[in-house]
Amino acid sequence: MKECKDCLAETLGNAPRVKLRPAKYPGPRCATHWRVFRKQVRERAWAEHIHKTYGMTAEFYRALLASQGGKCAICQRATGAARRLAVDHNHKQALLDGHAEEHGCENCWRGLLCRMCNRNVLGHLRDDTAALQRAIDYLHHPPAQVLQHTRPAPSASGAAGSPSASPGSSAAGAPDTASSGPRT
């Protein structure tokens, strides 16, 4: 079996020759160096992708991520450890700058978002700030809670235990057929 070329390169500076690991992977490389090599390839491909798509360097992406505290700018939960955070950009600004909506430039960049916030919050609401304000108002004043506070308090005649207050019965104590639904 061949020897790992990266292990060989590491041991060239050392006088005594150590036994090199077998190279099962292309290169030829051992499993450890193959993982390192694949990670470097993925990193280069990602850097090329964000530069080609958004005109953003990998260094700027990392600086932006650090300025956001290493988290999604909206939810502050996603860190990009499992899946890198998406570059959020303003599609309307892209059209004003004269390039395709799916591509960005430094005038279009807004921040880094997780997939859920980018697609399911901003994307679904189409960057409508009025809709986002309605969502905030909804969380602060849920309609069900508002309705419960505005309805009249139950009267003394409708107290629990009286025949008129029990669901599914009429005032005379007979079952209420109007509210019981269809009969089968």
Q: How far apart are the first and last CA of the chain?
A: 78
Taking 70 as the pLDDT cut, the residues of the chain under it are 12-19, 156-184
Beta partners for residue 22, in sequence order: 3
* Residue of 76, 74, 72 lying closest to 85 (CA atoms): 72
Q: What is the pLDDT of residue 160?
A: 54
- pLDDT tens, residue by residue, 74-121: 999 999 999 999 999 888 887 788 877 777 788 889 999 999 999 999
89 burial via Cβ count (<10 Å: 0-12, 13-18, 19+): buried
Among residues 42, 46, 52, the alpha carbon closest in space to that of 65 is found at 46
CA 79 to chain CA centroid, Å, is 9
Q: What angle do CA 115, 142, 123 make, to 5 degrees?
A: 20
Q: How far apart are CA 138 and CA 125, in angstroms?
A: 15
pTM to 2 decimal places: 0.68
Omega prior to 182 cis, within 30 of 0: no
Cα(4)–Cα(47) distance, integer angstroms: 27
Region for 181 from its dihedrals, namely left if φ exceeds 0, alpha if ψ lies in -120 to 50, beta otherwise: left
pLDDT for residue 77: 96
Query: What pLDDT is attached to residue 158?
Result: 54
